[in-house]
Amino acid sequence: MFLVAFENIGLMLLMAIPGFIIAKLKMIDSQKAIKFISVLLLYVCQPFVTFDAFLNTPFDKAILLNIAVCFLITAFLISIIAILSNLIFKATIIDKEVCGVFSYASAFGNIGYLCVPFLQILAPSNTEIIVYASAAIVAFNILAWTLGNFLITKDKKHVSIKNIILNPATLSFLIALPLFMLNLNFPRFPKLSGLQKIINLMGNLVGPLAMLMVGICFANSKIRESLKNNKTYVPVAVTIIIKLLISPILAFLILKLISTFYDTGSINLNIIALSAMPVANNLIMFCSLANRETETPTSIVLLSTLIAAITIPLMLNLYTVV
């Protein structure tokens, strides 16, 4: 599993090279390009990924139950790590204002823009895996806009129920789920093969676009400058350790416990992969909304993404022993 996962991570990183080159050569306005790609990913590609997965998966009660289990495990894992991390950082960081930033980074991973394309490459044509990932993304969004946003801003006015419901990933899930339950899908209506191809092509854009954006971000990163303050070394290191190592190990232990009374075989890969992802990009967005500096959060996101190229394959070995 290590070699397979390492190869797939390497292939994904290759897709970031064109973005890095065109940004370094100043062929684009990087900030505008990042914003444009972010909008495409959020409002176009992610919904198509969800529709492609659900509309190509025939209804099965076992799958429906696994969707619920995957949602609950993801929500529990994010919540418990966020709360425990916040307690750790409050006890060790002098500047209490930034505790929530590091706590968010420790708990919330890049499951939409990185994990989904990784799973698409790792298990091609396995739409069931992407169905479970879609459920996990909904759990992520609910907690990001409530617990996560509150950790960073310390202000309830930024906790937005509206953004939870009107989020493209959540809306597409809420639309696709009833279609799945009614068994209204492409296998049942083969004459819609043209529409099926279009949806599939749009969904497959997530990987290339997300990695192009990563390349552009790396080309414009100032990691060294943002980490010049010695006070940030330890919390950044602890954050990355929690996110990339402790999180997937905890996910493994949870799966081990649940597997004693429920067959988790179909979702093991999802849960381990989701928990092993680097820090979520939207950490930067939430810090910006809270009028906090974004250089350190950006560095955490980029550093964790680099290190994850090694830790994700390592952690996926846990999947083989659940």
Determine the Cα–Cα distance for residues 44 and 185; give it in Å rounded to an integer: 20
Provide the residue range defining the domain that includes 237. 2-321
Check: CB of residue 143 under 8 Å from CB of residue 149: no
pLDDT, residue 90, reads: 85
Position 225 scores a pLDDT of 63
3-state class (DSSP) for residue 279: strand
Cα separation, 206 vs 227, whole angstroms? 30
What is the Cα–Cα distance from 300 to 306, expressed in whole angstroms?
10
CB 243 within 8 A of CB 304: yes
**Tens digit of pLDDT for each residue in 168-223?**
889 999 999 999 999 999 999 988 889 999 999 999 999 899 999 889 988 887 76
Integer angstrom CA distances of residue 146 from 69, 75, 181: 21, 12, 28
- pLDDT on residue 121: 87
Task: Report the Cα–Cα distance between both ends of the chain, in Å, rounded.
Answer: 13
Q: Is 128 exposed, middle or buried (0-12, 13-18, 19+ CB in 10 A)?
A: buried
The amino acid at residue 25 is L
CA atoms of 8 and 29, how far apart (whole Å): 29
Closest Cα partner for 8 from 111, 115, 132, 127?
Answer: 115
Give 229's pLDDT tier (boundaries 50, 70, 90): low
Q: How far apart are CA 69 and CA 87, in angstroms?
A: 27
Give the number of domains in the chain: 1
pLDDT (average), residues 13-24: 92
Q: In terms of Cα–Cα distance, which of 273, 280, 264 is closest to 8?
A: 273
Predicted pLDDT at 253: 95
Rounded Cα gap, residues 231 and 229, in angstroms: 5
The pLDDT confidence band at residue 8, using thresholds 50, 70 and 90, is: confident
Interval 70-128: pLDDT, tens: 999 999 999 999 999 999 988 887 677 788 899 999 999 999 888 988 998 888 888 99
pLDDT recorded at residue 224: 66
29-43, 116-130, 154-168, 278-292: least confident range = 154-168
CATH of the domain at 101: 1.20.1530.20
With a threshold of 0.85, does the pTM exceed it?
A: yes
